[in-house]
Amino acid sequence: MNLDPTDIKLLKLLQEDATLSNKQLAEKLYKSIAAIHERVKKLKKAGYIKKTVAILDRNKIGIGLISFSQVFLKAHTFEVLNEFEKEVSKFPEVMECYQMAGSYDFMLRIATKDMEAYHMFLRHKLAVLPQVNTVQTYFVLSETKSETAYHF
């Protein structure tokens, strides 16, 4: 599916506010409600829209600590990499997991209540995975910018 200018505008509007109704989107894009409904349906089916979520204020729900962990694995075989990805994906504390090129193997963004909760996560979940050799963690002191929208 090739995106036309209307599709791109539609995706940008939905990234800013996914609660906009088809009627509101139609008014902003000067299209019919039915046309917008069909476009959104096609964009979802084609995988451009993966899911619609609410972005929460982490502090209000008790998530006071964000950290980034560099994970070094013991080996780099296909099986070891896949098993690590499978296991780490099960942890609710892990918000993002990226395999990296460079000196470490994976970068994890971890969200916990506080330092004690992170410590328990590290000791009882992450560090005990048989694939893990070393973990280096950096703790967020302040957040200057946090975006969920892609600009294209």
Q: Which residues pair with 67 in a beta bridge?
A: 110, 139
Q: Three-state secondary structure along 25-87?
A: HHHHHCCCHHHHHHHHHHHHHCCCCCCCCCCCCCCCCCCCEEEEEEEEECCCCHHHHHHHHHH
Average pLDDT over residues 90-117: 98
Pull the structure tokens for residue 58: 């982490």
Query: Taking all residues of the chain, what is their mean pLDDT, rounded to a whole number?
Result: 97
Gyration radius (Cα) of the chain, Å: 20
For 29, residues 6+ apart whose C-beta sits below 8 A from its C-beta are 6, 9, 10, 13, 36
Give the separation between CA 134 and CA 112, rounded to whole angstroms.
Answer: 20
Give the torsion through C-alpha atoms of 109, 113, 119, 125, to 10 deg: -60
Average pLDDT over residues 96-115: 98
Percentage of residues in the chain with pLDDT exceeding 90? 99
Per-residue pLDDT band at 86 (split at 50, 70, 90): very high
Q: Choose among 88, 1, 30: nearest CA to 10.
A: 30
Average pLDDT over residues 85-97: 98
Give the separation between CA 123 and CA 118, rounded to whole angstroms.
Answer: 9
Question: What is this structure's pTM?
Answer: 0.87
Domains and CATH numbers, the chain: 5-45 (1.10.10), 65-139 (3.30.70.920)
Give the separation between CA 91 and CA 76, rounded to whole angstroms.
Answer: 21
Per-residue pLDDT band at 64 (split at 50, 70, 90): very high
Task: Identify whether the C-beta of residue 71 lies closer than 8 Å to the C-beta of residue 135.
Answer: yes
1 pLDDT above the threshold of 90: no
**Which DSSP symbol is given to 126?**
I
